[in-house]
């Protein structure tokens, strides 16, 4: 049974936006978390900070392009995309648009992206690739069909059908890698790579290589990202805890260690991140070089 669609709207000093979301159909949820449809008009260009996570976002846009930039890399010009996939990343990415956006975001799992695209995920690490470059004509057809659909629910139903077909036609992730990925997620990063290797019956070196190929980040790095995600969820709860409590509950040695990891992954301090949150769950504002 498919979950009901959730929708929200915002209108204020920043402009206006609407968002609609629902999970993928149950059969797909090992491969795709769900979908978010969005339309927004802002008075000024809007820049967002996208931090590392266990999700692989696929953006299918019906309108204006988006610019992507990696903080701390002044030698690289921002890349411009319309529809694209952002691979697993271990640093914050900044996105920016000129004031208008309209499209759908599909949040894939790393193994789901591997199964649907048939591309080694290590080749997409810390990178974004245009959807047409990845898929060719099927990407153009899907974008056109989604743009022509009248409602968000119709678009999400179409995505259920298309993504299921892509999974059925794509490569099957290695069962030991899939098991190690589930185990790492369930433990929120708190399991050693040596133990994972012992449990799947592989050498540590072999597990790291295969995991890197199919998930995109090495298991040790992904474990740190999962721990960071746990801390971020706790920080953004309706009744957030003090930073020192979040650090301890997330498994950090002390708050200084937590602050260093947070700045490495988010590109800013925890307090700055929280202060930059946009209204109604619309993300986090970003500034280059911070």
Domain boundaries, the chain: 6-169
For residue 76, what is the enclosing H or E element? none
Contact 283, 66 (CB under 8 A): no
Taking alpha carbons only, the member of 35, 25, 28, 29 closest to residue 2 is 25
Residues composing the chain: 290
Closest C-alpha among 246, 241, 239, 282 to residue 261: 246
| Spatial separation of the C-alpha atoms in residues 131 and 21, rounded to whole Å | 21
66 near 22, Cβ under 8 Å?
Answer: no
pTM: 0.92
Closest CA to 63 of 157, 160, 146: 146
Give yes or no for a contact between 20 and 152, defined as CB atoms under 8 angstroms apart.
yes
Q: From first to last of its 290 residues, what are the pLDDT tens digits of the chain?
A: 667 899 999 999 889 999 999 999 999 999 999 999 999 999 888 999 999 999 999 999 998 999 998 654 555 678 899 999 999 999 999 999 999 999 999 999 999 999 999 999 999 999 999 999 999 999 999 999 999 999 999 999 999 999 999 999 999 999 999 999 999 999 999 999 999 999 999 999 999 999 999 999 999 999 999 999 999 999 988 887 889 999 999 988 888 999 999 999 999 999 999 999 998 888 899 864 43
d(CA 226, CA 21): 23
Sole residue written with tokens 């090992």: 30
Give CA torsion, residues 40, 95, 14, 102, to 10 deg: 0
CATH code for the structural domain at 6-169: 2.60.120.10
Confidence (pLDDT) at 287: 63
Coil/strand/helix, residue 84: strand
Predicted pLDDT at 75 = 59
At residue 4, the pLDDT reads: 86
Q: How far is CA 6 from the centre of its chain?
A: 19
């Amino acid at each position: 049974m498919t979950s009901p669609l959730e929708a929200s709207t915002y209108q204020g000093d920043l402009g206006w936006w609407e968002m609609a979301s629902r999970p993928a159909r149950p059969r797909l949820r090992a491969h795709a978390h769900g979908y978010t449809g969005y339309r927004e008009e802002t008075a000024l260009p809007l820049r967002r900070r996208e931090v590392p996570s266990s999700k692989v976002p696929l953006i299918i846009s019906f309108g204006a392009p988006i610019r992507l930039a990696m903080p701390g890399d002044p030698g690289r010009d921002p890349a411009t995309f319309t529809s694209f996939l952002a691979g697993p990343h271990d640093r914050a990415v900044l996105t920016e648009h000129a004031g208008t956006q309209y499209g759908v975001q599909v949040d894939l799992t790393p193994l789901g992206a591997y199964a649907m695209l048939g591309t080694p995920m290590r080749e997409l690490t810390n990178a974004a690739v245009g959807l047409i470059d990845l898929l060719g004509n099927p990407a153009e057809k899907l974008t056109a069909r989604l743009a022509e659909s009248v409602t968000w629910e119709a678009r999400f139903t179409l995505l259920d059908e298309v993504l299921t077909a892509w999974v059925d036609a794509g490569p099957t992730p290695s069962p030991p890698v899939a098991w190690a990925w589930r185990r790492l997620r369930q433990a929120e990063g708190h399991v050693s790579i040596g133990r994972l290797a012992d449990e799947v019956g592989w050498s540590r070196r072999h597990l790291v290589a295969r995991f890197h190929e199919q998930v995109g980040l090495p298991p040790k790095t992904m474990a740190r990202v999962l721990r960071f995600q746990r801390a971020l969820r706790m920080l953004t709860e309706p009744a957030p805890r003090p930073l020192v409590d979040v650090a301890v509950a997330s498994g950090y040695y002390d708050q200084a260690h937590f602050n260093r990891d947070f700045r490495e992954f988010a590109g800013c301090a925890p307090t700055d991140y929280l202060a930059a949150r946009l209204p109604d769950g619309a993300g986090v504002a970003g500034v280059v070089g911070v």
